A and B are shown apart, each in its own frame.
Chain A
Amino acid sequence: MNAFDYEAPQSVDEAISLLSAGNGNIGILAGGTDLIAQLKEGRKIDLMIDLKRIPEATALSFDEDSGLSIGAATPCSQIYGYDVVQSRYPALVDCTSLIGSIQIQNRGSIGGNFCNASPAADTPPAVIVLAGTCRIAGPNGTREVAAEDFFTGPGQSVLQSGEFLISIQVPTPAANSGAFFLRFIPRNEMDIAVANAAASVVLNSDKTTIQEARVAIGAVAPTPLLVADAGAALEGKAVDDEEAIEAACAASRAAARPISDMRGTIEQRIHLSGVLTRRAIQGAIQRAKES
């Protein structure tokens, strides 16, 4: 690992001025579970900016009107340990509690998971189906980007020079709604998704019909994908409409455009997109019924 400068700004403004003034390569540190591993593997930076002294970056709060606000550097274990998340956002528990080990969950954050922008990242599909947004701070103020629009390619996001992700905003779930995330890995822990999927549904008042639905899949394209056709296939359909669910699965398979690598083949990943979409939808419906 090469020598680099380290700064720990205490405010958003201070961070922006460091980012704007910084020369050379800058690494933004939240939990460090990606960044530090990359530095050990040869990534070279000149300046490390640690976000954890900025209050907004480690905040975690809920308001019935504005929803859940998750600081970009808030560690996974705080998120899934938050009672509001446990009761209102179980899909966020699904994804934050299966990343790495407990030690990793005590450091790693959703913000870092987003900014590392791995196609196989486990938190984006859940945030996407929950209609979450990314709050980005930069020299020209703050802007919000829908979670599904944040990613532009492997390791790439919409973040411009001088910008950083400050928090993730997730709206308050509607009544009679449910969401679910799962991934497929060859082992039962400590692994990277071969494919993953999330679904959210809003049911009508007697919980027999799907009013709204969103489906997202990951590790099967250069970025996590919101599969609009899958959601559309479910809307207005009965919760036990097998044809509608199969249509949603087919939409996921059609949307998937994976690569073959040592973690899985194109065929396997397309197939898994369908399998996981079905399981995510069934899980979301179940949670909506229990809500």
Chain B
Amino acid sequence: MATKTEDYLGITDYKVIGTRPIRHDGVDKVVGRAKYGADIDMAGMLHGAVVRSPHAHARIKSIDTSKAEALAGVKAVITVDDLPLQEDKIEDLGEGAANLQHLRANVLADGKVLYHGHAVAAVAATDIHTAQEAVDLIDVEYEVLEPVLTVHEAMQEDAPLLLEDQTTQSLGEDTGQKSNVCTHFRHELGDVEKGFAEAELVIEREFDTATVHQGYIEPQNATALWGADDQITVWCSTQGAFTVREQTAQILDVPVSQVKVVPMEIGGGFGGKIRIYLEPLAAIMSRKTGRPVKMVMSRTEVLQATGPTAGSFIKCKMGVDKAGKIVAAYAYMAYESGGFPGSWAAPGAMCIFAPYNIPNVLIDGYEVLVNKPQTMAYRAPGATNAAFASETIIDEICEQLDVDPLEFRLQNSAREGTRRADGPVYPRIGNEECVKTALSSEHYAAQLSGKNRGRGIASGFWFNVGLKSSAAASVNSDGTVSLVEGSTDIGGTRTSIAMQLAEVLGIRAEDVKPQVVDTDSIGDTDVTGGSRTTFATGWAAYQCALDIKEQLIERAAKLWEISTDDVVFDDGTFSSSDSSKTLSFKELSGMLDETGGPVMGRATVNPSGVGGAFAVMIVDIEVDTETGKVEILRVSMIQDAGKAVYPSYVEGQMQGGTAQGIGWALNEEYAYNGDGLLTNASLLDYRMPTCLDLPMIETHIVEVPNPGHPYGVRGVGEVPIVPPAAAVANAIYDAVGVRMTNLPMSPGEVLKALWAKNGGNGTA
């Protein structure tokens, strides 16, 4: 475990890191041989389906399963009564936490349904069609209650309560006040009132952002087999096999050792595949039937009933002095939790003013229950909403001060030693370098001309996380190394982790065979989330390689009958200090049997020296003022990666995050009707951008090494989603002079803003 403040080795002549070898899982994925959860088939396997609530908010009066049970082919029907009771206990999921009673009631509704699509019962049958028919035969009687759909409604004093026992935790204390507001927290730095009093210019605006979904292409799925020996195996699509094991064991009330989770290949997660939904249902129905049970969600179920990320209301205020220095900032951040507590205002509050050195800051955060699915992480959760508020206000300040928005960001930039409002003092960070790279970019220098065209700038921050990782590796007699680890590979991390091991041992990336294994086959490893995997599991692989190196030095010493102190290892070659004897890594690997047997390395880490990531986006857009449609003309994303272990994957993350952020900016939203029913639960009407909606996204990788990692690695996966919404809003203002304060900035909303500015209501 690393606790030093400076772990960075300062290597400048990497052999493997920074190169672009062929990814280890590439061929299987290209030819379609990679196995996903939906590919699972087993003898005697049953198919499960879920009864879901047609209401947003209702009390369940009765559930009659008799007709379904009587249908030929139906083997099991379950409701919440089949799940063991839970204590009121919080379980850490790695990215977010869950109260076990709430997790149970989310998996199968307990007395009340809290959102459209909430699971009420489940069925297992010999084929999926029979299971679906049985779903229709289950009669659920509801007492429909008034839905609460926005934080504005939910925070009203007389708002209907979703969870009748929920009280507000305010500033760490239970107020005893029954409310939909679960949590109120505050961060305070300096004296914000004094700061605003000193300000020459103060801008305050209010922002609403819609609930949005991660939009991973592969739906949630789980297959479970509860053996006669009470050993339970779960195959599923998850960002973290160990968190699935922990949650499933808790919900089933069995020891973790009784559950083995086999992570299948994953078709995207973005924070949405951490909480469990289907796993305990499949497991309980397997126990009842003695057969494996497979469950795969439809796209509609994914959108209705897995965790989207929070819609929000943010009131933000910033003040600058005569010299253009930000002197005070305030934010009121109310984020939706969905039907159960636990939301994303807290990480949002850590990010909202993070790129700036501001002496006086006050942030009030609120997490609020609404009749929507329980929210989940989505790529830098909470930070995109936050940056939409603060970064559009900064744009307005720059406009009023008539200063260049990048020069302003440089002048006010956070740097090493700056204290963030929520407490941490920055180590070496790369925000200034990102801003400078943007300033000197060809894109920023390029003139943008044409009617209704505009350019927008925005910055973003994500703190990244460390957490637990394990790795084990064995040296093969042909000079290769088999590496096993427990991190779901979403963005190419098998390879970026293997490369860190290869770098230590002086072998090629191709000479490492990395594998992501099940929970019985490697030490505990936290989720692939928080942009941690290349940083932390990569670090475990690095430590693992050091372990192997030490053991091989001992073998060489034994062979040569010299002291280990006299063995030098450099660039994949062992030599005696007098240079009389040398053995390559491969040669020595072939001599293991005669020097004492196999060599394995192992490491577990829980590193603290996580390096925060900053990004700056430049976007050019054109508005069709007759339709309100925004066309993205050119995008550049500039991001500090610390060290880009595999530059193509870093670029891929930057492009992917930018694309998702632009979707969030322009069209994505959960459209609920007045009854709280989701009206766009399909990818036709939940409009993520397609490839025709985006130009090639230009990437600029900045490398300011993270002092807290041997190779200077920072997390890269999340921060690129942070700037886009604000950058696009700022570009729209530059193009047509309207300040958009709500997300999404869909054509209808832009048109309304244009009508409000220019007069007219579209009838002429």
User: Which residues of A are interface residues toward B (Cβ below 8 A)?
Assistant: 1-3, 184, 186-192, 194, 253, 261-265, 267-268, 270-272, 274-275
Contact = CB atoms under 8 A, between A and B. Distances in A.
Contacts of B56: none
B762 A271 contact: yes
A191 B746 CA distance: 14
Interface stretch (B35-43, B685-693, B705-713, B720-728): B685-693
27 contacts: A1-B129, A184-B627, A184-B747, A186-B629, A187-B667, A187-B687, A187-B690, A187-B693, A188-B692, A189-B692, A189-B693, A190-B684, A190-B690, A192-B684, A192-B685, A194-B747, A261-B679, A262-B671, A262-B679, A264-B748, A267-B762, A267-B763, A268-B628, A268-B747, A271-B751, A271-B763, A272-B627
Given A1-B132, A188-B692, A271-B762, 13 more contacts: A2-B133, A3-B129, A184-B747, A186-B746, A187-B687, A187-B692, A189-B693, A190-B684, A191-B687, A268-B751, A268-B762, A270-B762, A275-B627
Nearest to B760: A271
Interface in B723-764: 746-748, 751, 761-764
A84 B61 CA distance: 64
B692 A265 contact: no
Contacts of B393: none
Given A3-B129, A270-B762, A275 B687 contact: no
B747 A186 contact: yes
B165 interface: no
B666 interface: yes
Interface centre among A2, A187, A191, A253 (most CB of B within 10 A): A187
Given A263-B685, A264-B748, A186 B762 contact: no
Contacts of A275: 626-627
B627 A187 contact: no
Nearest to B298: A40
A261 B684 CA distance: 14
Given A1-B129, A268-B762, A187 B680 contact: no
A187 B680 CA distance: 15
Interface of A is mostly: loop
A188 B666 CA distance: 12
Q: What 4 A-B pairs are tightest by C-beta distance, nearest first?
A: A271-B762, A262-B671, A188-B692, A275-B626
Contacts of A263: 685
Nearest to B686: A262
A271 B693 CA distance: 23
Contacts of B692: 187-189
A3 B693 CA distance: 40
Contacts of B628: 268
Contacts of B763: 253, 267, 270-271
Contact of A262 (B685, B747, B762): B685
Interface string B648-675: 0000000000000000001100010000
Interface centre among A189, A263, A265, A274 (most CB of B within 10 A): A263
Contacts of B679: 261-262
Contacts of B685: 192, 262-263
Contact of A265 (B629, B666, B684, B748): B748
Given A262-B680, A268-B748, A188 B690 contact: yes
B205 to A, nearest CB: 24
A26 to B, nearest CB: 20
Interface centre among A186, A190, A191, A274 (most CB of B within 10 A): A186
Interface centre among B132, B133, B690, B762 (most CB of A within 10 A): B762
Contacts of A264: 748
Contacts of A253: 763
Contacts of A190: 684, 690
Contacts of A188: 690, 692-693
Contacts of A272: 627
A192 B682 CA distance: 12
A1 B628 CA distance: 40
A263 B693 CA distance: 18
A177 to B, nearest CB: 26
Contacts of B748: 264-265, 268
A197 to B, nearest CB: 12
Given A190-B684, A190-B690, A2 B671 contact: no
Interface string B118-130: 0000000000010
A186 B746 CA distance: 7
Nearest to B667: A186
Nearest to A253: B763
A164 to B, nearest CB: 27
B732 to A, nearest CB: 15
A267 B629 CA distance: 16
A277 to B, nearest CB: 12
Given A188-B693, A262-B685, A265-B748, A2 B627 contact: no
A274 B764 CA distance: 8
B762 A2 contact: no
A1 B128 CA distance: 9
Contacts of A267: 761-763
A3 B748 CA distance: 42
A180 B132 CA distance: 45
Interface centre among A3, A253, A268, A275 (most CB of B within 10 A): A268
A214 B401 CA distance: 54
Interface string B153-190: 00000000000000000000000000000000000000
Contacts of B680: 262
A269 to B, nearest CB: 9
